[in-house]
Amino acid sequence: MTQYRTERDTMGEMQVPVDALYGASTARAVDNFPISHEPVPAAMIHAFGHLKAACAQANLELGKLDARRAEAIIAASNEVAAGKHDAHFPVDIYQTGSGTSTNMNANEVIANLANEKLGLGRGAKGVEGAVHPNDHVNTGQSSNDTFPTAMHIAAVSAIHENLIPALRRLHKSLAEKATVWDAIVKIGRTHLMDATPIRVGQVFGGYAVQAEYAVRRAELALGLRTNMEIGGTAVGTGINTHPEFAAKVCQALSKKLGVQFEEARNHPEAQAAKDSFVGAHGELKTIAVSFSKIANDIRLLGSGPRCSIFELSLPATQPGSSIMPGKVNPVICEAVIQVACRVIGNDTTITMAGLGGVGSLFELNVAMPVMIDAFLESVKLLANSANVFVDKLLTGLEVNEDRCRELIDQSLMMVTSLAPLVGYEQSAMLAKDAFKLNTTIRQLCLDRKILPEAELNKALDPDSMTRPSA
């Protein structure tokens, strides 16, 4: 059976598991919020570790903490940042909207770790010379500025370390396909109907540029690094903190994490609104839309293999049916499309969380935990699905050149290149007649001697139809 120790917060005594690094405030929050049974994302906990270490360093330099306590707090915070104590952060995502419970969870864990390093043990916050979670770990801070600041750290780190490299890899793979397949011509389609020819390299070149733009959009989302709330404390006024504190914290974080963090230009705006997160996730939503377009196109171009388009051969990754033997489905494409659905849904969550009267109201946004949970999930899903798309689909993707040639020959829209030579109306009639007679544009024109054969061959050259002409 679990053994407990008794700890106190300002509301009274709480029973805390004897092995827990947290204290009474965290235990109270665990009791209060048994909702999703999913804790705040680990990336946020690690961000809190980085933040609390930077805050202790700033407070040491400003004379707000003595070296003994500051060094113990920094060492403990670094362990939290490294993910060594994730199991001691049990507070549910759906908690107080300011993230106060998670801030106190961090304060209590770091204080207990620091006290252990000082030889005082867990639950020693009232002992003389001990580190106190509020008085020392939280010096110059409020949940109202630390939680959103940790949101920025976690989001920026995830985008910088995971999403952008995955998007660059996706762009590289698509660009390579565009180059290798540039000489292969296929039929184009608009409105799901046959259109004029296009080179496979042009199609994949378009996808590659979508991926290139996705990188740029992710880089725009990194603008979150410039609106750090730390130093605003309770309502953005900076009460109980040193005027140089925020700048020093941002400087310490920038040095440690290799990203240039900047204090918010206006603290009341930064704490009262979360427009920067709404905007940044809008970039992620656009990336998801791009993913869906590329994945959907490829799965349709690979449809068949006998009774549909089948211009592309997708890698066979797993059996596609429990009842139809030999069936293979475009499962990687479908997974990516589902990611897009989730990210777009997360965008709605974040938008709602940012709305006045829902999340943002007066001097504080009170829907921050769900906002950062949705944001980090989107980054993770986009990064992972981009890598899976490269590894499981693009690497083994092939073009069925014979099928491309067959469909071009059958397309009625090959007549488009004849319009400058014989006129739009006659060309339209040729297309309709070819369809009725179940023949090709080329054969019909030969049969009716519409143009000399050499001129007709030149006009109906598929490759020349993929480029402008004088």
Active site residue 191: yes
Q: Are 77 and 50 in contact (CB under 8 A)?
A: yes
Dmax (CA) for the chain in angstroms is 104
Rg (CA), the chain: 30
CA dihedral angle for residue 50, residue 56, residue 62, residue 63, rounded to 10 degrees:
-170
Report whether the peptide linkage leading into residue 462 is cis, meaning its omega lies within 30 degrees of zero. no
For tokens 């469909």, what's the residue?
Answer: 407
Per-residue DSSP letter, 301: H
Q: Which of 98, 191, 242, 464 is catalytic?
A: 191
Which residue, 45, 59, 57, is CA-closest to 255?
Answer: 57
Q: Where are the beta strands (DSSP E) in 284-389?
A: 312-313, 360-361, 364-365
**DSSP designation for 288:** H
Query: Can you tell me which residue has the tokens 């000489």?
Result: 183
Question: In this structure, what token pair is assigned to residue 1?
Answer: 């059976």
Q: Are 116 and 84 in contact (CB under 8 A)?
A: no
Rounded-to-5 percentages of helix, strand, coil across the chain: 60, 10, 30
Nearest to 227 by CA among 259, 263, 257: 263
3-state secondary structure (DSSP) of residue 34: coil
Q: Give 451's DSSP letter.
A: S
Nearest-angstrom CA–CA distance, 391 and 408: 30
> Which are the contacts of 14, defined by CB distance < 8 A and separation ≥ 6?
6, 7, 8, 23, 24, 27, 28
* Cα–Cα distance for residue pair 76/328, rounded to 1 Å: 52
Task: Supply the DSSP symbol for 186.
Answer: E
What is the Cα–Cα distance from 163 to 381, expressed in whole angstroms?
9
417 is catalytic: no
b (16+ CB within 10 A) / e for 409-445: eebbbbbbbbeeebeeeebeebbeebeeeeebbbebb
| Active-site residue, from 36, 308, 321, 464 | 321
What is the spatial distance between Cα 48 and Cα 53, in angstroms, rounded to a whole number? 8
Q: Which tokens is 387 given?
A: 């890598």
**How many Å apart are CA 300 and CA 316, to the nearest integer?**
15
Q: Which residues are catalytic?
A: 191, 321
